[in-house]
Structure 1
């Protein structure tokens, strides 16, 4: 049985408010291999860990982060929406977030709005580049990453590239599937091409996890760590007997 690597989506976002230091610490406590997080840029060019283009959903503030200064962002409460236990959590600055990852967890940096070369250099300065990787839903950012920082490991989505051959041609290291795009033929082709097979799944159906493991998926970008671990334990017991 292959080693399974857990990637905590936006940190351990079922335990703590997403994309906060608390979610990062919870992911580390769970023994996750990597933490996935999102990067945006403030009006005064400070990089932050935040998913949405506005702060409305996950803080006590409102407005677009790109229209806000770092002084304004640093004052926001990013925890109380999730639970009173997390009152006082802040929107992390990227440098602080990365500092807390050093020697503890690998990083998956999803760039929403930021200079990929700047992000790459921040990882490199902390020895996080070798195991780290990046992705963006923005086609322009993906192209810029390939052109300007080719040593920054890249992930691509199957739904974007449409084939394993295209993923290889783009120089990807990781090919991410969704449950609906993962098939035995595609998984086999990706593995034979030397790509890391990753799946993104925000749900908790054990059969989805089992099927992915059976097909050779080794990295799971997920929210429900507990269910994955239970399925992994069952499969390990079955193969050991």
Structure 2
């Protein structure tokens, strides 16, 4: 049994403000294999790395990102809310964020809003397309990605498709589980269908991590990378 690929959810979001260059750098420092990031466009069409529809929670500004101009977004403080030491962190533009990832860490781009083709092209021009994948909670965006950019790998949620067969029928590359539907039989079935298995879990319950390791989940989309690695080590290489 091999070590799981670590997907750092919104960067190292327990150590630095989520979806910032600081969280990206900390994720790389901690040994993450992939960074998960969220993408939305500004009013003038600039793609930014931001989870929420509004900037209220994670910056010193207020309002919907889609109603703000990039010149104003670029001046927001996206770090002070987390800790004073991160004051001055900015909401990253996607192009700059991808430049910082290139050759250092792979990318999982969750499209909150935006054109999948534009994101695909930004990855391709940097030679990052083969190691990246995408997902969206927006059904229309998922359908658009499947139709317009079939060479950009796509993930589906088990809670959306309900079966391995439906994931395959949707030409998915990755099938993501949550703790309530993670079972070893489903993992084996997905792997037999050549799907990459992934678990999303934002908590720190050792039992969830233990179950994931024993089920043989290939990728872990998580916040607590350090605890997972300790649990994984305990199971894969128990002390004599």
Q: TM-score scaled to structure 2, two decimals?
A: 0.98
Q: Secondary structure at the match of 2:179?
A: coil
Aligned to 1:194: 194
Task: Give distance in 1, aligned partners of 2:223 and 2:215.
Answer: 20
Aligned to 2:64: 64
Aligned to 2:30: 30
Aligned to 1:100: 100
Q: Secondary structure at the match of 2:56?
A: coil
- The CA deviation at 1:188 is 1.2
State the 4+ residue runs in structure 1 displaced beyond 6 angstroms. Answer: none
Q: Over residues 67-107 of structure 1, what are the superposed CA-to-partner deviations in whole Å (9 max), with x where a residue is unaligned?
A: 00000100100000000010000000000000000100000
Task: Give distance in 2, aligned partners of 1:25 and 1:189.
Answer: 36
Aligned to 2:205: 205
Q: Over residues 36-89 of structure 1, what are the superposed CA-to-partner deviations in whole Å (9 max), with x where a residue is unaligned?
A: 000000000000000000000000000000000000100100000000010000
Task: Give distance in 2, aligned partners of 1:135 and 1:167.
Answer: 13
Task: Give distance in 2, aligned partners of 1:221 and 1:10.
Answer: 10
TM alignment of 1:78-157, pairs within 5 A:
78-157=78-157
Alpha-carbon RMSD:
0.9
Q: Secondary structure at the match of 1:180?
A: helix
Number of residue pairs aligned between Structure 1 and Structure 2: 240
Task: Give distance in 1, aligned partners of 2:233 and 2:186.
Answer: 25
Residues 181-190 or 69-78, more deviating: 181-190
- Structure 1 stretches lacking a partner, 5+ long: none
* Contact in 1 for aligned 2:42/2:70 (Cα 8 Å): yes
Q: Secondary structure at the match of 1:56?
A: coil
- Structure 2 stretches lacking a partner, 5+ long: none
Task: Give distance in 2, aligned partners of 1:153 and 1:72.
Answer: 33
Q: Secondary structure at the match of 1:211?
A: helix
Q: Over residues 152-196 of structure 1, what are the superposed CA-to-partner deviations in whole Å (9 max), with x where a residue is unaligned?
A: 000000000000000001111100000001112211110110111
